[in-house]
Structure 1
Amino acid sequence: MTSIADDWGVHEAQFWLRGQAPEAPVSYDPEAGIWCVYGYQEVQHVLANPATFSSNTQRVIPQEMLEGQEDFSEGNLIQMDAPEHKKLRGLISHAFTPKVVADLEPRIAELTGELLDAVDGHRMELVEDLAYPLPVIVIAELLGVPSSDREKFREWGSALMESTQEFSFADPSEDQRQQLQEAMQKVSKLSDYLREHVEDRRRNPREDLITKLVQAEVDGEHLSDDEAVNFSNVLLIAGHITTTMLLGNSILALDTNPEWFARVRADRSMVPRAIEEALRYYSPFAGTARATTAETELGGERIPADALVVTFLGVANRDPKYFTDPDIFDPTRDPNPHLAFGRGAHFCIGAPLARLEGRVALNILLDRFPNLRRDPDRLPKFLPSLSMTGVKELPLVF
């Protein structure tokens, strides 16, 4: 049997730490043309200071790389700073309050049961059978789009992951530009799809999030179609990929630490803590970008204005200055102030929903399949992205 550690080591070296943890908390990568922030304290500082580290990274990316992407900026929460970000985020904050999220638990449990009922024999592929369809159905129902179209969402959304593979902003090659353009053409299909729903809700309002976006007002003005489309786009993609990676990474971490898997099976009160440790150990969004608005000092380095800065959340979550034995998976870790969902104004608004989906799904999985484990004859496959850490295939047996 091939060792999962061997395969995961290749994944780490290629997509995450590139083989070893960096010694300096901040360094410049001349080949990629980015400033890399690895230290926990330094990452916190970047995320907590949007005045210096802006979320609007498009303004520092070479314009030739942004050709054809102009329509994706309006209403894109990820690229916004205050006060616009705060105003738009407020439009949907009511959809993710603790009560609203808690009320979704019966539906999440029902969907989990239905998806597991469809599993045949004594094998399953976790992502295909549960970790992908569960959260995408939930967010699709909230938005008001047919969950039966989820294979389309997967095809279009995968283009975003593929476009975040290793890329040089200092000297992008023609091949890299072409790959990016092809990826954005796929993403535009999702935007066209959502535009049809936005236009329909203007004519035929319903009880869903897209209708609320269409009807919402910011400073007395309604959102434009582009703003409503891009807002919905972010919610749909981010609303499912986080949970997909969270659930897959949790099972992977437990399977590779069988003593903890046994303890979690026996004591379900440990499930939430196991999920939190998996978020730290295999951080789903391993990196996030910012752009400096002025020259600044960070980690002993002078970073110029208009520089692209990437905070490596996955590395910061293993900073030995803040986490004892950071390379050990320990669900009893307390405190566990990981940065997997970010910090500050851009803290993941769907974090409570992702945690709920993970907790419900993991408990039901263990109820149904108490002997669940990784298929010893098939290795996991990982997402081909520098900015994401997660499995795209995780074969299991029970």
Structure 2
Amino acid sequence: MTDWNAHPAHFWMHGHRPAKSVEFAEEMGFWTVSGYSETQRILADPVTYASDIGRFFPQGDSNDPLVKQLSEGNILQMDGAVHRDRRKVVSRAFTPKMVADMEPRIARLAGELVDGLVGRDEFDFVTEVAYPLPISVIAELLGVPASDRDLFVYWADKLLESKNVYHEADPSEDVVAASMAALREFAPMVDYLQQHTAERRRQPREDLLTVLVQADMPDNEITHFGILLLFAGHVTTTLLLASTIMCLDRYPDVARQVRADRSLIPGLIEESLRFVSPVPAIFRATATDTEIGGHTVPADQLLMLALGAVNRDPRQFADPEVFDITRDPNPHLAFGRGAHFCLGAPLARLEGRIAMNILFDRLGDLRIETPPVFHPSPEMCGPRHLPVKQVQRGDS
């Protein structure tokens, strides 16, 4: 079993599996769901299992203007007709045609990044490829300068730091204070997006911000979606790309197989998503008394759906600890399921496919000789830094 120094909270990465697929985590006060069928059922029933979970995650003073601003208008915490209406607007940027039309631009960006690595013996794969590719694509889609990407990664770090308060059942005053300090460091991103939104009202462009403005979405919802797109839209793909390289290093026979037969790349991407799920968990709340995995769960209970563990459930996946790129089908839940299925999934898959093809075309084998540095936040699973050594084919 390899854990690659994954966060301790990601128990599935350390070879552990709970005795039961549904358990109450007494120390945290919520239910942990690690079973595939149970999670699938929960995600398919937004009436019983609601996405409106903000009340379970209070952050500082609810009367604080910043806290109040960030607690309202989050599409991830909407259900029913309101969610359907908002998702319909946002999905215009992610139609199959829109995604397909982005392929030449993604290929050009990926090619430029990889060409800069030809002949380099050592580099950080995250810094050089896995981060700049998706953030450039997302920035262009949204309509903000990709040159601001250093700001985006800083704000993403602060947003994750601000969530540390949620990772303890009874956080100390110091943890709460540090969380609020990080949130205030993140606040300029809100101003940044609001300024771009106001500019689109004056001067529309061919970008997603203009689409949202012209659909008369409230400003706070536009801001929330901008945060979601710039954060989740790039971090998940960054982790996918880096984790795929990590898996290819650990399983060199697979790397040789895929290099020789590029038709295997889609299967490689799907298995990487299953094996090292970038978003390790999502949450739901019971809207009524219900039964899950043999347990009676009262209304108003918080459920943590441990997607990383779900994607290794032996009841669903044969030999789940084996990295098998030929799994067919491979119905992992890395992108969720149901009403909140990730809109950006086709784009992430496309970026993964393009990047892997170009890497195999232009670079030698990428070897990991020092342990990868995993994301310090339990909210993400995958390398934050991935130092690699390039070995030309025939030199190994």
TM norm structure 1: 0.92
**Equivalent residue, structure 2, for 1:201:** 200
Aligned CA distance change for structure 1 residues 74 and 167 (closer, same or farther; 3 Å): closer
* Residue 54 (structure 2) aligned to one of 40, 49, 58: 58
Q: Is 1:280 aligned to 2:278, yes or no?
A: no
Shift of 1:187: 2.6
Shift of 1:198: 0.6
Shift of 1:182: 2.2
Kept after mapping to 1: 8 A contact 2:75/2:221: no
Kept after mapping to 1: 8 A contact 2:287/2:299: yes
**Equivalent residue, structure 2, for 1:230:** 224
Shift of 1:165: 4.7
TM alignment of 1:130-141, pairs within 5 A: 130-141=129-140
**Equivalent residue, structure 1, for 2:95:** 97
TM alignment of 1:310-389, pairs within 5 A: 310-369=304-363, 371-376=364-369, 378-389=370-381
* Residue 26 (structure 1) aligned to one of 14, 22, 25: 22
TM norm structure 2: 0.93
Kept after mapping to 2: 8 A contact 1:268/1:363: yes
Residue by residue over 1:341-367, the C-alpha shift from the partner in whole angstroms, topping out at 9 and shown as x without a partner, is 000000000000000000000110111
Kept after mapping to 2: 8 A contact 1:36/1:309: yes
Q: Secondary structure at the match of 2:328?
A: coil
The one-letter code sitting in structure 2 at the alignment partner of 1:199 is A
> Once superposed, what is the RMSD of the aligned Cα atoms?
1.9
Q: Secondary structure at the match of 1:17?
A: helix
Q: Secondary structure at the match of 2:6?
A: helix
Shift of 1:190: 1.0
Kept after mapping to 2: 8 A contact 1:30/1:170: no
Aligned CA distance change for structure 1 residues 289 and 78 (closer, same or farther; 3 Å): same
Structure 1 window deviating more from structure 2 (172-181 vs 255-264): it is: 172-181
Kept after mapping to 2: 8 A contact 1:287/1:314: yes
* Residue 242 (structure 1) aligned to one of 226, 236, 240: 236
Residue by residue over 1:247-294, the C-alpha shift from the partner in whole angstroms, topping out at 9 and shown as x without a partner, is 111111111011111101110000110110010000110100111112
Residue by residue over 1:76-113, the C-alpha shift from the partner in whole angstroms, topping out at 9 and shown as x without a partner, is 21111111111011112121111111111111110011
The answer for unaligned runs of 5 or more in structure 2 is 391-396
Aligned CA distance change for structure 1 residues 170 and 397 (closer, same or farther; 3 Å): closer
Kept after mapping to 1: 8 A contact 2:165/2:175: no
**Equivalent residue, structure 2, for 1:72:** 70
The share of aligned pairs that are identical, in percent, is 49
In the alignment, the residues of structure 1 paired with residue 133 and residue 24 of structure 2 have an alpha-carbon distance, to the nearest angstrom, of 40
How many residues of Structure 1 are paired with residues of Structure 2 in the alignment? Answer: 386
The one-letter code sitting in structure 2 at the alignment partner of 1:373 is L
**Equivalent residue, structure 2, for 1:219:** none
Kept after mapping to 2: 8 A contact 1:16/1:386: no
